[in-house]
Structure 1
């Protein structure tokens, strides 16, 4: 019996072997620094080099927007599904981890059998009884690390789903922010259209009066009416877009808009914190989608170890100890002790190449994950580079559009004054009105594009740049 115990201890000590290939992170398939050039000029200002932790609560300064994001994080169904997916993979990991340990069970059974006389040597029928109570143990010795490899694969997949949940959360935050900014922009465009319609109607009234007294021509009157109709079309278009923006926001929130919600704010307000630039390119490793891709690569790497281990023998130990008796009353009396020990070994001999194909598949899957990991890094690098280019150029573009707006307002005021005094024709005034309307619309559109590009850059940087802000969950 002592030899058996020593043998089991030796086998247990050997069960730490692993055939998982040594993991090596693939080389980064991008440049070691962000791109430079005219498009990026101006991005190295006062905030350059700042790397203090910054989460969404600090980045989004608008209290209403922070309230909306908080509601979405509580109620959005996609985020809820991502969280449940993490719990599902946690359970799968726990199942795989349990296979490494012995399974212990307690069993009790009893039976009574009547045997006909023609089946008994005595020629008489007989009734026999058998009762047993046992404690059983079964254990597959993981000598070559197959179970350990599967456990490691399950763990890495669990971590990958946790990173995917974080990625979903960041995407949701950015989507809510962009939806709120779009709603503000369409509100502003709707108001501009209403103000313009009022101006056009005043011009139409003035032109109608001039036409009635024979001063204005029928062409000028038709042009004035056309301008009014154009503004009315814009009002209906932006009224529809505002309603659709609200619907999109409600879907993201997972509920109706909160009561007492402030009306859409002014895009001119400073609603976003400056996004630090001058950050190192290896910050991309902290993006949750990059983390997810790397854990999926680690899982594929661990699966190779399981496929390799399948070529080797598998050893299982089963045993039971307890009490057995032909009488229920004598089940636990002296002399009723019962035990059995049944080790088994299975050696693969011929399987028509199945094990080889499984290993090839595992290795190919790992190579696929390498390619997807590298692709994810390249996509992330481009997103950040595009964001940096947008940050610099939109600052200059919006300022130029603001200057153009001021010039157009001056042009309109001058054209209106000259038309009223009879110096210029109505065509000049109409041109000034249309230009001012278009420039106002373009300014709002450019300002929206600037702010959404900053939100997208925040998202591209992983929703922040604090490596400790979102640790991985415990194995559990």
Structure 2
């Protein structure tokens, strides 16, 4: 008896020695994480925050209808919803691991000991009741309950649960990021489509002008006021303009199909009003201090939850070095004949076992898991810092772009007006023989190029607004 006690004490001592020291994880806190500055490019902005809803940001009814359809049918968004369901199941499983398990079952077995063994010889000579030996083979019927519980004395299961919760929250923010990206893609494609429509209208007007110019050149050639070269030049310019028309038609088809893909449907004509492009109000973006990005941008919130999850993963891996305490118990009925199961309390069977286990031989594997979790935590930290840097740089760039595009658009409008007037002047001079056909063509080309650039600039302005919506968070 004394020898058994000594062995038990040695085992407890080994457990205590093996778990008395756990490795230290890399410290990740507010000091080690990257901090955002309080200014954008040196200018402190004291306004509140951006609009909190995309419906406050985009007011075109046709665009809002497209966005609603995309949010309901987009495949990427549906995939993200399933990822959330998977993360939620993981969180529920981690919570359930902290609770005891209770199961019910029934076992039926048979055993036969060899006749020339101690058990077989004993059974052969033992009577259950006077004149009735123990059955051979021996059946066993055992219905009952089983109870098992790992006591979370050192918080290992709690850390695992917290990691699962943070990952679930990260997937929610991931959904918000996908949602904001989807809205911005729909809006950007919509504005591109409007710009292409306006370019197509513009090139068709230009085609009509070239046809009229060709007719005038033909008349003047017949009146010996011009040469065949002028006619050929106008014909070439007309062919070039018509080829641009077909190129624009293809771009419109591709843009429509890309937009329909975002809406989760087969190619369908997109309802839109091309005039809305120039009528759309380019909003003045209201921004808050950079610290407000943390409460708006879903990708930053997602990175923050991923970092927190990585921290709890490290804690879970570190606490794997500590002992585990388990309690197991069974309670049921047991007999070699089913008719004896009701004979209480003789058929009653139970057991209670408490266990304390700690790793000894496999510590290297546990250390490797810990080092892996610690490295993953540092990776999550760098990902978080990168996300902050990207967010700040992106907003600074877009704010500058929004401001410069506004000035560029105003000057481009002035250029278009001047060139349109020069086209009228060149035509009058050509009709009066004071200018050549090259002067007219050059004036018309310059006006067309300027008008195209004006449309592209308005598209860039609206795309910049869309990007700012996405960058500042919803």
- What TM-score results when the alignment is normalised by the length of structure 2? 0.86
Alignment of 1:196-275 (within 5 A): 196-256=206-266, 261-270=271-280, 273-275=283-285
Q: Is the 8 A contact 2:321 2:363 kept in 1?
A: no
Could you tell me whether the CA contact under 8 Å between 2:194 and 2:272 is conserved in 1?
Answer: no
Q: Secondary structure at the match of 2:38?
A: coil
Counterpart secondary structure, 1:332: coil
Which residue among 30, 35, 38 is the counterpart of 1:32? 38
Unaligned 5+ residue runs, structure 1?
1-18, 464-476
Relative distance call for 1:184 and 1:305 in structure 2 (3 A) is same
Contact 2:36 2:291 in 1 (8 A): no
2:94 to 93, 96, 103: 96
The 1:437–1:36 alpha-carbon spacing in structure 2 relative to 1, beyond 3 Å, is: farther
Q: Which residue among 57, 60, 64 is the counterpart of 2:58?
A: 60
Asked whether 1:166 is paired with 2:176, we answer yes
Decide whether the 8 Å contact of 1:132 with 1:322 is kept in 2.
yes
2:433 is equivalent to residue 428 of structure 1? no
Match of 1:280 in 2: 289
Q: 1:67 to 1:20 in 2, by over 3 A?
A: farther
State how far apart, in whole Å, the 2-side matches of 1:241 and 1:259 are. Answer: 14
**1:84-117 deviation per Cα after TM superposition (whole angstroms, max 9, x unaligned):** 1011010011112111111110111233556787
* Residues in 1 aligned to 2:42 and 2:446: alpha-carbon distance in whole angstroms: 36
Q: Per-residue deviation at 1:328?
A: 1.4
Q: Where in structure 2 are the equivalents of 1:31-50 lying within 5 Å?
A: 31-36=37-42, 49-50=47-48
Kindly indicate whether the alpha-carbon contact (under 8 Å) linking 1:319 and 1:340 is maintained by their aligned counterparts in 2: yes
The 5 Å alignment of 1:223-372 reads 223-256=233-266, 261-270=271-280, 273-277=283-287, 279-286=288-295, 287-335=297-345, 336-351=347-362, 353-372=364-383
CA positional deviation for 1:133: 1.8
Report the counterpart of residue 110 of structure 1 in structure 2: 108
Query: Distance between the aligned counterparts of 1:68 and 1:118, measured in 2?
Result: 85
Greater Rg, structure 1 or structure 2?
2
For residues 274-329 of structure 1, give each alpha carbon's deviation from its aligned partner in whole angstroms, at most 9, with x where no partner exists: 4213x111121121000111111001111111111111112221110122223312
Residues 337-416 of structure 1 mapped to structure 2, 5 A cutoff: 337-351=348-362, 353-416=364-427
Task: Return the alpha-carbon distance in structure 1 between the equivalents of residues 417 and 142 of structure 2.
Answer: 97
Instruction: Please report how far the alpha carbon of residue 270 of structure 1 lies from its aligned counterpart in structure 2 after TM superposition.
Output: 2.2
Alpha-carbon RMSD: 2.4
Specify whether residues 27 and 349 from structure 1 end up closer, same or farther in structure 2 by C-alpha distance, changes over 3 A only.
closer
Greater Cα offset, 25-34 or 158-167: 25-34
List per-residue Cα deviations over 1:348-381 (Å, max 9, x = no partner). 1233622222222222211111111011000000
Q: Name the structure 2 match of 1:439.
A: 450
The answer on whether the counterparts of 1:21 and 1:305 sit within 8 Å (CA) in structure 2 is no
- Corresponding residue for 1:4? none
Of the structure 1 ranges 402-411 and 315-324, higher mean CA displacement relative to structure 2 is found in 315-324
Distance 1:363 1:216, change over 3 A: same
Summarize deviations over 1:226-261 as a string: whole Å, max 9, x none: 211221121111111001010100110001467883
CA, structure 1 residues 87+129, in 2 after alignment: closer, same or farther (shift >3 Å)?
A: same
Q: CA–CA distance in 1 between the matches of 2:275 and 2:327?
A: 71
Any conservation in 1 of the 2:282–2:461 contact (CA below 8 Å)? no
The answer on whether the counterparts of 1:193 and 1:235 sit within 8 Å (CA) in structure 2 is yes
C-alpha separation in 2, matches of 1:448 and 1:402: 14
Gaps of 5+ in 2: 1-23, 126-132
Q: Retained in 2: the 8 A contact 1:20–1:306?
A: no
Q: Structure 2: how far apart are the matches of 1:381 and 1:371?
A: 15
For residues 320-341 of structure 1, the C-alpha deviation after alignment (integer angstroms, 9 at most, x for no partner) is 0122223312313322221101
CA drift of 1:214 comes to 2.0
User: Take 1:163 and 1:328, find their aligned partners in 2: how far apart are those partners?
Assistant: 58
Query: What TM-score, normalized to structure 1?
Result: 0.86
Q: Is the 8 A contact 1:61 1:272 kept in 2?
A: no
* C-alpha spacing 1:238/1:253, structure 2 compared with 1 (3 Å): same
The aligned length equals 436
Is 1:184–2:213 an aligned residue pair? no
**CA distance in 2 between partners of 1:173 and 1:59 (Å):** 11
**CA 1:370 to 1:254, structure 2 compared with 1: closer, same or farther past 3 Å?**
same
